Chain A
Amino acid sequence: MLQVTIPIEKVDGIIGAWGGRREALIDILQDIQDVARYLPRPALEHLSKELAVPLGEIYHIATFYKAFSIEPKGKYVVQVCLGTACHVRGGRLLADRISHDLAVKPGKTTGDRLVTLETVGCVGACALGPIVTVNGEISGKMTQPKLVSMMKKWRG
């Protein structure tokens, strides 16, 4: 079963691991997201109390940085690179294809929480563009047929 939340004790554990330091807030948020796959409100409320940082400021940070999501993510987090090198090699068409076939807009998750589609600036593997990553695993030299068979696999 896919974990979509995080127990409060675990949040305490993460805060403790960073010594409860205010300056480590971004690291703490990253660790919470690594467990819960997004930033659940109860966890942020707890964090606000523990670090004595206003909840609004935490949300300011959580929504400023692109790596954070305040909505639950899908089982497969798919990132299509639209950096210059991938763009000239057809990255945009790949994103459009996923968007069309799975009826999901970039930045959003499918209704069944199967796939989250994200477009990213550059994953730094430009020599192999266009790049698509699935749950962090990089696939280079992506083509439409390869993408279609990947989507089939996600649907099971």
Chain B
Amino acid sequence: MQTVKSASELGALHTRLNAARDPKRPLVTVCGGTGCQASGCMKVAEAVRDTLGGDPKLAGKIDFRVTGCHGFCERGPLVVVHPQGIFYQQVRPEDVDEIVRLSVVQGKPVERLLYRDEVSGKTFTRENEVPFYKNQQRLIFGMNGQIDPRSIDDYIAIGGYQALAKVLTQMKPEQVIDQIKKSGLRGRGGGGFPTGIKWETCRRAEGIRKFVICNADEGDPGAFMDRSLIEGNPHSVLEGMIIGAFAIGAREGWVYIRKEYPLACDVLRNAMAQAREYGFLGKGILGTAFDFDVRIRRGAGAFVCGESTALMASLEGRVGEPRAKYVHTVEKGLWNFPSNLNNVETWANVPLIINKGVEWYARIGTGDVTGDAWGGSKGTKIFSLVGKIRNTGLVEVPMGISLRQIIYDIGGGVPDGKRFKAVQTGGAVGGLHT
């Protein structure tokens, strides 16, 4: 692959790659997220590959893709047969032959592998009909099912890096910051600080070097949203970081990621190498004068390192001890240079805002952020829904949704006819509601 040297070259590449993805062409996807891997999805994927490859009538005619997390981890391994979109759950390798014979060849569903709703007793054929998915709004996470996370071409085919091209060729840094401010995007790591204001403060701070940092030290018990985003769509996070770096005036980026997430580390490393090869990272990105590159540091298992000042100390190769925060890290952060730290999910929202526009984005969510960044919170949020609930997994919902909707409409309520007692929100330091 040659470097992509301009926005128009990227446009041509997108057109070519997208044309190759005929939506009518048969395609089998297997979820390869960590949750499904724990349920044995790689053996299912192997069986699909062998079955498709071993039949001369099918070989080369059926596409096959291992994707990132679909979110419905409880029901893994998950297999989807396209173009019909037939959704299979709890698939075992021995089921694959039947899936290929019936669904791939004849387009018919294998009834016993379909999702059956325990409450209503109904079965559902398509992924988007299942109550767990139907009541979500999967703007960020939905892309996971469409791409192979190890393929930058897949990401480009669905419009990836277009937001970066737009920003680099049509916008000034201040305009990007203005858009992010108006979008009503707030930090997804838990603090909920308005992202645009943070970027603006860091841009205005003085420093001969500046950094953007991605906090992927997701350590709150029960949370695995960031892991699944990096594992399923690493380029969306990178694209967000590159755009942020341009807006802030940073040339160097860091991703601080837990070593306990080996698959995510590996997928991200692969994505960074591809982005460098295509010229989205490095010198003269997309033929412009903008230089930026990202490095990874693996966290070594310290819960406190999710805190920004401790994280930066750890990035410097020291013990991750937080410092007093009267000096903000956007002014004096990593090695005392202005540093803008955002969470994985926050970065992943950035390309979406640039692509779809502020008006579109600000229609999703709650409150009113015109004139007051704290007046509301826009966009969607990914939550991990776990514990004693019928449907567990990752859910993406608009900001402002009620807990009742999440727990009952999406989660299916408390299992075994038990009474609802309490819900903990926001991780270890969050609240307990009864």
Binding site for B on A (CB under 8 A): 21-27, 29-30, 60-61, 64-68, 83-85, 87-89, 120-129, 131, 136, 138-140
**Given known A24-B317, A27-B298, A127-B393, contact A121–B37 (CB-CB < 8 A):** no
Instruction: Say whether chain B's binding surface is mostly helix, strand, loop, or mixed.
Output: loop
Contact B224 A67 (CB under 8 A): no
* Interface residue B128 (Cβ < 8 Å from any Cβ of A): no
Contact B302 A121 (CB under 8 A): no
Instruction: List which B205-246 residues lie within 8 A (CB) of chain A.
Output: 218-224, 227
Instruction: List which B171-218 residues lie within 8 A (CB) of chain A.
Output: 218
Please indicate the chain A residues that have their CB under 8 angstroms from the CB of B302 in the complex: 64-66
Contact B387 A139 (CB under 8 A): no
Contact A126 B224 (CB under 8 A): yes
**Given known A25-B317, A124-B224, contact A85–B387 (CB-CB < 8 A):** yes
Alpha-carbon gap, A144 to B73, bound state (A)? 22
Q: Which of A60, A83, A87, A128 gathers most chain B CB within 10 Å?
A: A128
Contact A88 B300 (CB under 8 A): no
Alpha-carbon gap, A118 to B395, bound state (A)? 30
Alpha-carbon gap, A126 to B222, bound state (A)? 6
Contact B317 A128 (CB under 8 A): no
A142 to B: closest C-beta gap in Å? 10
| A82 nearest CB neighbor, chain B only | B221
* Interface residue B319 (Cβ < 8 Å from any Cβ of A): yes
Please indicate the chain B residues that have their CB under 8 angstroms from the CB of A131 in the complex: 38
Binding site for A on B (CB under 8 A): 34-35, 37-39, 73-74, 76, 218-224, 227, 259-262, 297-303, 314-320, 384, 386-388, 392-394, 424, 428
| B72 nearest CB neighbor, chain A only | A127
**Given known A83-B222, A85-B222, A88-B387, contact A61–B393 (CB-CB < 8 A):** no
Please indicate the chain B residues that have their CB under 8 angstroms from the CB of A67 in the complex: 259-260, 299-301
Contact B74 A128 (CB under 8 A): yes
Alpha-carbon gap, A26 to B310, bound state (A)? 14
Q: What is the total of A-B residue contacts with beta carbons within 8 Å?
A: 114
Please indicate the chain A residues that have their CB under 8 angstroms from the CB of B261 in the complex: 124
Alpha-carbon gap, A15 to B297, bound state (A)? 15
Alpha-carbon gap, A21 to B384, bound state (A)? 38
Alpha-carbon gap, A65 to B35, bound state (A)? 26
Q: Could you say which of A64, A66, A127 contacts B386, with CB atoms under 8 Å apart?
A: A127
Contact A140 B39 (CB under 8 A): yes
Contact B222 A140 (CB under 8 A): no
Alpha-carbon gap, A131 to B222, bound state (A)? 12
A131 to B: closest C-beta gap in Å? 7
Contact A68 B262 (CB under 8 A): no
Alpha-carbon gap, A55 to B18, bound state (A)? 55
Contact B387 A65 (CB under 8 A): no
A65 to B: closest C-beta gap in Å? 3
Contact A85 B38 (CB under 8 A): no
| A34 nearest CB neighbor, chain B only | B259
Contact B320 A64 (CB under 8 A): yes
Contact B38 A138 (CB under 8 A): yes
Please indicate the chain A residues that have their CB under 8 angstroms from the CB of B74 in the complex: 127-128
Q: Which of A66, A122, A123 gathers most chain B CB within 10 Å?
A: A122
Contact A26 B386 (CB under 8 A): no
B240 to A: closest C-beta gap in Å? 21
**Given known A120-B260, A127-B73, contact A140–B316 (CB-CB < 8 A):** no
For the complex of A and B, 10 pairs with smallest distance between CB atoms: A83-B221, A65-B300, A66-B301, A127-B73, A124-B224, A67-B301, A25-B317, A85-B386, A140-B38, A126-B386
Alpha-carbon gap, A139 to B262, bound state (A)? 15
| B392 nearest CB neighbor, chain A only | A127
Please indicate the chain A residues that have their CB under 8 angstroms from the CB of B219 in the complex: 121-122
Contact B300 A29 (CB under 8 A): yes
Alpha-carbon gap, A52 to B223, bound state (A)? 39
Alpha-carbon gap, A139 to B392, bound state (A)? 17
Please indicate the chain A residues that have their CB under 8 angstroms from the CB of B301 in the complex: 65-68, 120
Contact B260 A124 (CB under 8 A): yes
Please indicate the chain A residues that have their CB under 8 angstroms from the CB of B388 in the complex: 88-89
Please indicate the chain B residues that have their CB under 8 angstroms from the CB of A64 in the complex: 302, 319-320
Alpha-carbon gap, A101 to B303, bound state (A)? 30
Please indicate the chain B residues that have their CB under 8 angstroms from the CB of A136 in the complex: 262
Please indicate the chain B residues that have their CB under 8 angstroms from the CB of A129 in the complex: 386
Please indicate the chain B residues that have their CB under 8 angstroms from the CB of A125 in the complex: 34-35, 38, 73, 224
Contact B387 A122 (CB under 8 A): no
Contact B300 A30 (CB under 8 A): yes
Alpha-carbon gap, A85 to B384, bound state (A)? 10
Contact B392 A126 (CB under 8 A): yes
Contact A121 B303 (CB under 8 A): yes
Q: Could you say which of A22, A66, A85 contacts B317, with CB atoms under 8 Å apart?
A: A22
Alpha-carbon gap, A2 to B218, bound state (A)? 32
A124 to B: closest C-beta gap in Å? 4
Please indicate the chain A residues that have their CB under 8 angstroms from the CB of B39 in the complex: 128, 140
Contact B387 A23 (CB under 8 A): no
